[in-house]
Structure 1
Amino acid sequence: MASDVPALLSHRVPDLGALELLIAVARHGSLGRAARDVGISQPAASSRIRSMERQLGLALLDRSPRGSRLTDAGALVTDWARRVVEAAEAFDAGAQALRDRRDSRLRVAASMTIAEYLLPGWLIALRAERPDTAVSLLAGNSAAVARRLLTGEADLGFVEGLSVPEGLDGTVIAHDRLVVVVAPSHAWARRRTPLTPQELAGTPLILREHGSGTRQVLDAALAVHGGLAQPLLELSSTTAVKGAAESGAGPCVLSELALGEELSSRRLVKIPIAGVRLRRQLRAVWPSGHRPTGPARDLLSLTQSGRSGD
């Protein structure tokens, strides 16, 4: 029994290249000149016309030593072909306009450490490649980054947590280590042995807020050692945490990326810790099933070109 499902239009209608060739034949009255016009050889042009005639079941050209002339059917098909090609040109122009609009801006959401210490260099490199793209950066904790991606407020995100947030896809772009630091006046700065996980867990710390990647990693690492004590302070930015620790308020745990200046000037002192792994993966993330395109794809490529090892 014959199928009620119609054949796909693409199987019944010649492709754009064949239609453009037919229009060129009508314009030049010569298959050879039409072939040169569209950039193919005359044998290839002749083969394409014959293939189109077989596909349509119509004779389109009368061929003679004096040239090629459209048949009546060929003239009618050429008129239709012009409309199809014009529609395709409008389609292409519209798609290009959408790409131009997409490429004119890039909205990036990043967790605090990445936003402050890694993204500036990547964005400078991106500007060299795409000087006409306007970039906006929204900084927040990893949970806020995920929300902005899922609500369409950002095109690409960067997070520091233990895993890819639900509803997002991602790739590892770098690795980072959390370190314990105190002011030089703190008693831990004079100790000769590494901290134990139990000591760290049992000490009130200056902490980042829930939802930050730093807090997620620290919570998970110390969960098997009794969990974190009640925080001494809970602050929403890395800068605030460092400032509180420098003032002598107490110990804190932060990304090593964020502490270069403070450690080199000894405004803060790094305290060794044994028996617990405080490393984490830094990720680029985007909504599931929507791989980055345009400027977002280029920025992702820049982050991966300089990716550090584990």
Structure 2
Amino acid sequence: MLPRSPDHGARGIRLACVGVQGQTVGTMRHVPSIDALELLSAVAHHGSISAAARETGCTQQSASARIRSLERTLGLELVTRSPHGVALTASGRRVLTWTDDLLAAAERFRAGVERLRGESTRALVVAASQTVAAHMLPAWLLALRAAQLEDGREPTSVRLVTANSDETAELVRTGRADLGFVESPDIPDDLSSSTVADDVLVLVTAPSHPWTDHGSVSLDDVADTALIAREDGSGTRRAWESAVRKRLGRTPVAPAMVLSTSAAIRSAVAEGIAPAVLSDLVVADDVRLARLRRIAIAGPAISRPITALWRGTPRDLAPTSRDLLEAAVRRGIPT
């Protein structure tokens, strides 16, 4: 929320327009809070007060009361309610255009103050899907630390939250993470994004699997085989299914088993339950130790983007988040 001068008190900010004779010609006694304007923006995006309440972290009852209070403050009807949801009025749409500008300015203000205060003293909360968290972020964080030390700055304290790609996007969307990294080809359109690297997916089996006698297997054969897969919302699973749909025009068969971690999938594959498609980074050690066999899939390699997500526009990216993105691009995929 923007700071308020000490003399504002409970009455908010009083703005007056004074004419040439010293006569007040117009007064707006209150300026809405940033929280109220963020809620209006969320209502416009979702078309639902309950969804906007979830996004902004309040109850539906509180959100409805806040919208009514905002309308009283401005003296305007901003939304219309119907059984199908809520929609902005003509006045609401005009206010929203100014609201978006104000929220972006508020975020730039916050980021600027944090830079002046020394943002590196505040923990940067990073959400990342499993492959990124385990196999990419450690190298990126080392690169960030080295760059900050070289510039004579205090290294940033980073708190990492591991989740799947859908969960990571939601953590960023709700402000519980400053920056997110996902492995999914499907990027949410309500967040800013930037591709920082590309990851390759490979097929792995147990050493005893019949495919180990083949030089390669066709994508058709793999798509017709029940694999061990991650849960819905996982970037790995979504990237594999997207590649099959793009190249074959159909979806792969349902998984033989769904497990929530790559480590559990690797163990199940090694036990001979079924093959799996995983990141080459994830299976590298198992392949080197001969616990798993990497099987070539005929045709072009299956790759997926590693994408950074954040709230706001590209210019709203906080300085330390920008530093981490630059470190990720410089370092790329660890080898």
TM bucket (normalised to shorter chain) is 0.5 to 0.7
1:295 paired residue number:
320
Counterpart mapping for 1:33-182 below 5 A: 95=113, 99-100=117-118, 103-128=121-146, 129=148, 131=154, 133-182=156-205
CA–CA distance in structure 2, aligned partners of residues 151 and 102 of structure 1: 22
CA–CA distance in structure 2, aligned partners of residues 96 and 116 of structure 1: 29
- Matched-pair contact (CA < 8 Å) for 1:103–1:133: yes
**Structure of higher CA gyration radius:** 1
- Amino acid in structure 2 at the alignment position of 1:247: E
CA–CA distance in structure 1, aligned partners of residues 330 and 155 of structure 2: 22
Match of 2:234 among 198, 201, 212: 212
Deviation at 1:163, TM superposition (A): 3.7
Deviation at 1:218, TM superposition (A): 0.9
1:186 paired residue number:
209
Give the secondary structure class of the aligned counterpart of 1:259. helix
CA–CA distance in structure 1, aligned partners of residues 182 and 258 of structure 2: 20
- Amino acid in structure 1 at the alignment position of 2:212: A
- Matched-pair contact (CA < 8 Å) for 1:142–1:161: yes
Percent identity between the aligned chains? 39
CA–CA distance in structure 1, aligned partners of residues 300 and 251 of structure 2: 13
CA–CA distance in structure 1, aligned partners of residues 267 and 305 of structure 2: 25
CA–CA distance in structure 1, aligned partners of residues 328 and 130 of structure 2: 16
**Structure 1 unpaired stretches of 5+:** 7-90
- Amino acid in structure 2 at the alignment position of 1:238: S
Deviation at 1:279, TM superposition (A): 1.0
Q: How many residues align?
A: 218
- Matched-pair contact (CA < 8 Å) for 2:166–2:234: yes
2:33 paired residue number:
none
Deviation at 1:233, TM superposition (A): 0.8
2:292 paired residue number:
268
Deviation at 1:176, TM superposition (A): 1.1
Deviation at 1:107, TM superposition (A): 0.1
CA–CA distance in structure 2, aligned partners of residues 273 and 195 of structure 1: 5
CA–CA distance in structure 2, aligned partners of residues 289 and 108 of structure 1: 18
- Matched-pair contact (CA < 8 Å) for 1:103–1:294: no
Deviation at 1:101, TM superposition (A): 5.9
CA-to-aligned-CA distance 1:12-62 (integer Å, 9 cap, x gap):
xxxxxxxxxxxxxxxxxxxxxxxxxxxxxxxxxxxxxxxxxxxxxxxxxxx
- Matched-pair contact (CA < 8 Å) for 1:198–1:225: no
CA–CA distance in structure 2, aligned partners of residues 183 and 267 of structure 1: 7
Deviation at 1:144, TM superposition (A): 0.6
1:281 aligns with 2:305: yes
- Matched-pair contact (CA < 8 Å) for 1:201–1:229: yes
1:256 paired residue number:
280
CA–CA distance in structure 1, aligned partners of residues 120 and 145 of structure 2: 16
Give the secondary structure class of the aligned counterpart of 1:218. helix
Deviation at 1:225, TM superposition (A): 5.0
Give the secondary structure class of the aligned counterpart of 1:144. helix
CA–CA distance in structure 2, aligned partners of residues 118 and 257 of structure 1: 9
CA–CA distance in structure 1, aligned partners of residues 159 and 114 of structure 2: 23
Deviation at 1:137, TM superposition (A): 0.3
Counterpart mapping for 1:232-243 below 5 A: 232-243=256-267
Deviation at 1:177, TM superposition (A): 0.9
Give the secondary structure class of the aligned counterpart of 1:295. helix
Alignment root-mean-square deviation, CA? 2.5
**Structure 2 unpaired stretches of 5+:** 1-16, 20-108
TM-score (norm: length of structure 2) = 0.60
CA–CA distance in structure 2, aligned partners of residues 178 and 96 of structure 1: 39
CA–CA distance in structure 2, aligned partners of residues 287 and 191 of structure 1: 47
CA–CA distance in structure 2, aligned partners of residues 178 and 114 of structure 1: 13
TM-score (norm: length of structure 1) = 0.64
